[in-house]
Structure 1
């Protein structure tokens, strides 16, 4: 049995806590809301994020970060990208030995263009982290919490760390594969949120399956194009953290990014969308980071570019679609030059 500090008590952090508890682990779920912690500890519910889902009694909620980390032998980070540095900067003050770090967050940091694992490595001194791994793939928290069949990927530069994550989470309803391509797994998980915003927009504009299929297919090409430039394996983008995550995020009302795009397509402003959502929409911040990174790396990402203009320069959604459809004629695979294996 492991003692796991799960940092982030939103829907995904809570769902992963259920998986860990089902595996017999000692779960300390940390968040900032005292009201939420009391609900979890006294009634075993987190209704703000997972309505009517009964939590195992072995999940104990904390609002004191130091207390949640006491005697923990594993740290699972499930906080939004924008909060990652603050949480890491605080928690490193409470560590006195190296621990494995696992993250389940999906984003890229604007400005630095760092992936989450790179943020962890920069913020946590090497003598306080034994390894860094990611868990990612097609996984709605609402379905994981109900113990519906789910399959994901764990990845790390350290193969033993990826296997440790696999062993930590693997259950009869939560299957975990390992993948050595840390760059590809993180890039796929982050950038699919951008395409999901676009997919939601097509629904909001009243378009059908043809438009969504086109957007997802060309979106995957963009994700792979940038990933390959950064050193990822092309095979990763055909796997769970690439195509799999893209499908689930672009086709479901569970997806915050899809819902945000849907509201934008119906004519709401970005401020109206964020106020109505009341939760972090990772794809918005990731769009800015990916736009900057693509410019830096000289990688063509037309879908990301027009969504950036919609989100940050008030371009209308109809104008964005017109711009994409009016692009210069191209060969479908000319921009994805992959050497045969």
Structure 2
């Protein structure tokens, strides 16, 4: 982990190339991130440093997952600002829930981290892919490598996060059924994307139906401070003993070999 760095932010490559103003964060060990932040900083590209590598890596993968759904919602609702806003609220709720599950003291979804999520859902190859699928201008048979766009990282990320959050070792208490369930059961949008993109059981319209059902459900429990639903998970892993990070198709796969004791929230 000491020699791994993460650089990310609300950055569209073509716009950065054209020197449009942007900011970013570089995360990792202090001895590397601080000098690199100074080295990379330009008048049009402001780079800050942060020590929370894991949160930024997890969010960096999740934003691509939910960007595909954002593109679908945009296409299915004729670019409805209201519908896209509702989707943004629910998908960030799931992202925060997942991040708190995998990280002991995660960085808040704010600043460049939030902006990176926003711009990826607004404009990027994954959102573009979701739009094209919903409009039936491309199909899943096209694959996740698109000429002129590159790899659509969100497709493999959906599969990886779904499988990770299906592990019984991560079970949490369901807010209304009073039983322990896999975390993925509390992530309806992720479930819908998995059924659409990986299992291919439902059409893109399934994401809109999930959004409507999600809006009619009783909200999950809030945290002790009354924060938004599912902003904190019912259980925290008190210690991640082994966390290996490897990149496949530009996405961070995380393998958690062992968790320490769990404590109730």
Could you say whether these structures have the same fold, taking a TM-score greater than 0.5 normalized by the shorter chain as the test? Answer: yes
SS in 2 for 1:152: strand
SS in 1 for 2:209: helix
Q: 2: distance between equivalents of 1:166 and 1:230?
A: 26
Distance 1:222 1:317, change over 3 A: same
More relative contact order in 1 or in 2 (CA 8 Å, sep 6+)? 2
Q: 1: distance between equivalents of 2:71 and 2:132?
A: 8
User: 1:256 offset after TM fit, Å?
Assistant: 0.5
Q: Output aligned runs, 1:1-341, within 5 Å.
A: 131-156=3-28, 158-207=29-78, 208-231=80-103, 233-241=105-113, 243-252=114-123, 255-267=124-136, 268-272=138-142, 274=144, 277=147, 279-296=150-167, 297=170, 298-299=182-183, 300-314=186-200, 315-327=202-214, 329-331=217-219, 333-337=228-232
- Given that 1:291 and 1:305 are in contact with CA atoms closer than 8 Å, whether structure 2 keeps it comes out as yes
User: 1:232 offset after TM fit, Å?
Assistant: 5.2
- Given that 1:133 and 1:154 are in contact with CA atoms closer than 8 Å, whether structure 2 keeps it comes out as yes
Number of aligned pairs? 207
Q: Which has the higher helix share?
A: 1
Listed as ranges, the gaps of 5+ residues in structure 1 are: 1-120, 122-129
**Largest Rg, 1 or 2:** 1
> What's the CA shift string for 1:161-206, capped at 9, x where partnerless?
1102202211111101111111111111110111110111012213
Distance 1:143 1:232, change over 3 A: farther
After TM superposition, the score normalised by the length of structure 1 is 0.56
Listed as ranges, the gaps of 5+ residues in structure 2 are: 171-181, 221-227, 235-265
- Given that 1:200 and 1:257 are in contact with CA atoms closer than 8 Å, whether structure 2 keeps it comes out as yes
